[in-house]
C-alpha cells in the first residue's frame, strides 16, 4: 500500500493506493470502502509541524487491517518508528529516513484525551491534569441515507467543557468511512486527531477511556494481562515510538467504577453513552441504555418499577446482545443483578441466576486494579493515583486474584447455565 497526503485550506487528505498483496476484505465482518480520508484542522494549524512519524501512525491506525506486506508512508519515517511498526507485524515500512530524529515533546507538554463524551472518557478526564486537552473525533453524518447516530449530546458536552476552561478541539474526519461497515478500523483510531495536533498543542501522551473490561478482558471469556498482551505491545509500542505513549488512566477501573467516579465529580453529569439520544435525554432503546440505566439505578439507589424493568428487557437491540453466551461485559450485568432486590421482577430474578449475580462477589468492581499503573507514564502516575483515591479504593490482594482468575469457560460448559440461558431468552422473547 502507498499512502500520500495533500493539505489545502485546513483540509488534510490521505489518499490510499492499493497494491497487489493488500487486503480488500481482511475478514467476513468488514472490508475497505473509501480509499481516502480527510481531517478538517484548525485554521491556525501548520501542516509543516506534523512529524513524519505522526503521519505514519495515523496511516496505520486507519489502514493497518487492509495493508498487505509493505507500506509506503506519506513521508519517510524515523528508524525507531519503522522498527516498532515492523515488530510483531506482517507490515514492512519501506521508506525510512536514517537521519530523521524521533519526535520529542516540549518541556511544557501535557496530555491529550481521545474524548467521546461517554461515561468512560468523562471519568478519565476527571483523573487527568487540569490542562488536558479533550479532542473529539467528529464523524460527518451521511447525506444520502438515514443514521441513528446523533451528535447533539457529545457536542453539548464539548461546549460545556469549553465553558469551564478546557481547551477542547472538535476535529471533523471521515476516517470511519474507510471501513465498511462504518467504524474504527483499529479501536484506538479515535486518537488520530490528537496525534496530528501533538506538535501544535504540545502533547506528550494520549489518554483513552479504555476500561478494565476492554483492557484486561474482564467480562469476556478469560483474563488478559494487558501490559503483556499483543494490543499494548504493538499499538502501545507504536505510540511510544512516536513520542506519544498511552495514558490508560481507567484501564484498571470497571464500567461500574467509571459510573461511580462520574457520580462524584463535577463534570460527571456531562457523560452520555447513548449514541442516539439527545443531550440529557438518552434514547432508552439501545443496548447501552439498557446497561447504563440499570447500572445507574443501582449506583444511585434509584428503584425501578416492574414496568420499567420489563421495558428495558423488551428493547430489541438489548435482546440481541443478551442472546449471546457469554454476554458482552457480563461482569457488569453480574454486578447489577447482585445489587438488585429479589422478587422485584421475574425477568430480573431469572437474569440474576443466568449471570451469577446470585452467587458471585462483585464488590471488587467498585474499586480499581492497582497493576493498571504499569501502563501509566511515570510523569503522570502520582497525579492519577491521588485523584483516583478520592473516588475509589484499591482492590485487596484477594480481589486482585479474582480479577486475574476471571474465566467464563467452566460456566459456558455448564449445562445448568446453558438451560438458564435458554429459559431467560424464552422469557424475554415474550415481551
Question: Cell triple for residue 81?
Answer: 518508528
Task: Tell me how crowded residue 393 is: count the other CB atoms within 10 A of its CB.
Answer: 12
Round to whole Å and give the CA distance between 207 and 200.
Answer: 17
Lookup result for grid cell 458471585? 360
Closest CA to 342 of 300, 306, 378, 396: 306
pLDDT value of residue 343: 87
Domain identity same for 215 and 287: no
Radius of gyration of the chain (CA): 22
Domain identity same for 134 and 241: yes
Closest CA to 196 of 3, 377, 35, 47: 47
pLDDT value of residue 144: 59
Distance of CA 367 to the CA centre of its chain: 20
Is residue 277 one of the residues assigned to a domain? no
Round to whole Å and give the CA distance between 65 and 22.
Answer: 9
Q: What percent of the chain has pLDDT over 70?
A: 99
Residue where a domain stops, chosen among 231, 247, 263? 247
Domain identity same for 171 and 312: no
Stretch 186-195: mean pLDDT: 97
pLDDT value of residue 315: 96
- At residue 222, the 3 state secondary structure works out as strand
pLDDT value of residue 117: 95
Q: Does residue 146 or residue 358 have the better pLDDT?
A: 358
Residue where a domain stops, chosen among 247, 266, 292? 247
Is residue 414 one of the residues assigned to a domain? yes
Measured CA to CA in angstroms, residue 105 lies from 9, 195, 244, 245, 336 at distances of 26, 12, 8, 11, 43
Domain identity same for 211 and 317: no
Domain identity same for 149 and 57: yes
Round to whole Å and give the CA distance between 106 and 238.
Answer: 19
Q: Does residue 194 or residue 303 have the better pLDDT?
A: 194
pTM of the model: 0.95
Domain identity same for 225 and 345: no
Q: 194: domain range?
A: 2-247
Q: Which of 148-152, 232-236, 242-246, 394-398 shows the lowest mean pLDDT across its residues?
A: 148-152
Express each pLDDT in 340-393 by its tens digit.
Answer: 888 889 999 999 999 999 999 999 999 999 999 999 999 999 999 999 999 999
Domain identity same for 24 and 150: yes
Round to whole Å and give the CA distance between 369 and 199.
Answer: 33
Average pLDDT, the chain: 95
Domain identity same for 340 and 223: no
Measured CA to CA in angstroms, residue 150 lies from 137, 146, 147, 181, 279 at distances of 14, 11, 8, 18, 9
Backbone angles phi, psi at 130, to 5 degrees: -65, -25
Express each pLDDT in 215-253 by its tens digit.
Answer: 999 999 999 999 999 999 999 999 999 999 999 999 999
Domain identity same for 238 and 334: no
Round to whole Å and give the CA distance between 202 and 244.
Answer: 11
Helices within 79-147 (DSSP H only): 79-86, 119-127
pLDDT of 147 higher than 90 = no
Question: Cell triple for residue 132?
Answer: 488536558
Measured CA to CA in angstroms, residue 406 lies from 223, 224, 326, 335, 403 at distances of 5, 9, 13, 14, 5
Does a cis peptide bond (omega within 30 degrees of 0) precede residue 277?
Answer: no
Compute the residue count for the chain: 431
pLDDT value of residue 63: 98
Round to whole Å and give the CA distance between 66 and 89.
Answer: 13
Q: How confident is the model at residue 148 (pLDDT cuts 50, 70, 90)?
A: confident
Helices within 133-215 (DSSP H only): 152-163, 192-196, 198-201, 212-215
Total domains in the chain come to: 2
Domain identity same for 289 and 227: no
Is residue 128 one of the residues assigned to a domain? yes
The secondary structure of 311-353 as a DSSP string is HHHT-HHHHHHHTSSSPTTHHHHHHHHHTSPTTS-HHHHHHHH
Is residue 270 one of the residues assigned to a domain? no
Domain identity same for 243 and 288: no
Express each pLDDT in 111-127 by its tens digit.
Answer: 999 999 999 999 999 99
Is residue 351 one of the residues assigned to a domain? yes
End-to-end CA distance of the chain: 50
Stretch 254-263: mean pLDDT: 97
Residue where a domain stops, chosen among 247, 275, 301? 247
Stretch 310-336: mean pLDDT: 96
pLDDT of 88 higher than 90 = no
Lookup result for grid cell 449514541? 275
pLDDT value of residue 431: 85
Q: What is the DSSP letter of 221?
A: S
Is residue 264 one of the residues assigned to a domain? no
Domain identity same for 222 and 294: no
Is residue 266 one of the residues assigned to a domain? no
Round to whole Å and give the CA distance between 77 and 93.
Answer: 8
Is residue 278 one of the residues assigned to a domain? no
Closest CA to 207 of 259, 245, 162: 245
Region of 202 please: left (phi>0), alpha (psi -120 to 50) or beta: left
Amino acid at each position: 500500500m502507498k499512502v500520500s497526503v495533500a493539505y489545502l485550506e485546513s483540509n488534510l487528505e490521505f489518499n490510499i493506493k492499493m497494491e497487489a498483496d493488500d487486503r480488500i476484505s481482511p475478514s467476513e465482518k468488514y472490508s475497505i470502502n473509501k480509499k481516502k480520508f480527510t481531517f478538517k484542522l484548525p485554521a491556525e494549524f501548520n501542516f509543516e509541524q506534523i512529524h513524519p512519524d505522526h503521519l505514519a501512525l495515523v496511516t496505520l491506525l486507519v489502514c493497518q487491517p487492509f495493508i498487505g506486506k509493505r507500506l509506503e508512508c506519506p513521508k519517510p519515517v524515523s528508524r525507531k518508528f519503522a522498527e516498532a511498526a515492523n515488530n510483531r507485524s506482517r507490515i514492512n515500512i519501506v521508506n525510512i529516513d536514517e537521519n530523521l530524529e524521533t519526535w520529542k515533546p516540549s518541556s511544557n507538554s501535557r496530555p491529550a484525551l481521545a474524548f467521546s463524551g461517554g461515561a468512560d472518557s468523562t471519568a478519565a478526564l476527571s483523573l487527568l491534569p487540569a490542562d488536558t486537552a479533550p479532542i473529539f473525533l467528529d464523524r460527518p453524518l451521511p447525506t444520502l441515507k438515514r443514521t441513528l447516530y446523533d451528535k447533539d449530546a457529545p457536542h453539548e458536552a464539548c461546549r460545556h467543557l469549553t465553558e469551564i476552561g478546557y481547551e477542547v478541539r472538535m476535529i471533523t474526519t471521515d476516517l470511519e468511512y474507510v471501513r465498511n461497515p462504518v467504524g474504527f478500523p483499529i479501536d484506538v483510531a479515535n486518537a488520530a486527531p490528537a496525534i496530528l495536533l501533538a506538535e501544535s498543542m504540545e502533547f506528550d501522551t494520549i489518554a483513552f477511556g479504555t476500561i478494565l473490561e476492554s483492557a484486561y478482558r474482564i467480562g469476556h471469556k478469560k483474563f488478559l494481562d494487558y501490559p503483556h498482551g499483543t494490543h499494548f505491545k504493538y499499538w502501545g509500542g507504536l505510540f511510544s515510538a512516536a513520542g506519544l505513549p498511552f495514558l490508560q488512566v481507567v484501564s484498571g477501573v470497571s464500567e461500574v467504577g467509571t459510573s461511580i467516579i462520574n457520580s462524584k465529580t463535577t463534570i460527571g453529569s456531562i457523560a452520555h453513552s447513548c449514541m442516539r439520544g439527545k443531550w440529557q435525554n438518552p434514547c432508552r432503546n439501545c443496548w447501552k441504555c439498557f446497561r447504563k440505566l440499570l447500572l445507574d439505578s443501582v449506583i444511585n439507589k434509584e428503584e425501578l418499577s416492574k414496568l420499567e424493568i420489563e421495558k428495558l428487557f423488551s428493547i430489541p437491540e438489548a435482546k440481541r446482545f443478551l442472546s449471546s453466551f457469554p454476554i458482552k461485559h457480563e461482569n457488569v450485568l453480574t454486578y447489577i443483578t447482585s445489587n438488585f432486590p429479589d422478587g422485584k421482577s421475574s425477568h430480573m430474578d431469572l437474569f440474576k441466576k443466568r449471570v451469577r449475580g446470585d452467587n458471585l462477589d462483585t464488590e471488587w468492581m467498585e474499586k480499581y486494579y492497582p497493576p493498571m499503573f504499569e501502563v501509566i507514564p511515570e510523569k503522570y502516575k502520582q497525579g492519577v493515583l491521588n485523584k483516583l483515591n478520592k473516588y475509589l479504593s484499591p482492590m485487596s490482594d484477594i480481589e486482585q486474584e479474582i480479577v486475574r482468575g476471571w474465566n467464563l469457560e467452566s460456566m459456558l460448559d455448564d449445562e445448568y447455565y446453558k438451560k438458564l440461558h435458554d429459559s431467560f431468552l424464552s422469557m424475554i422473547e415474550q415481551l
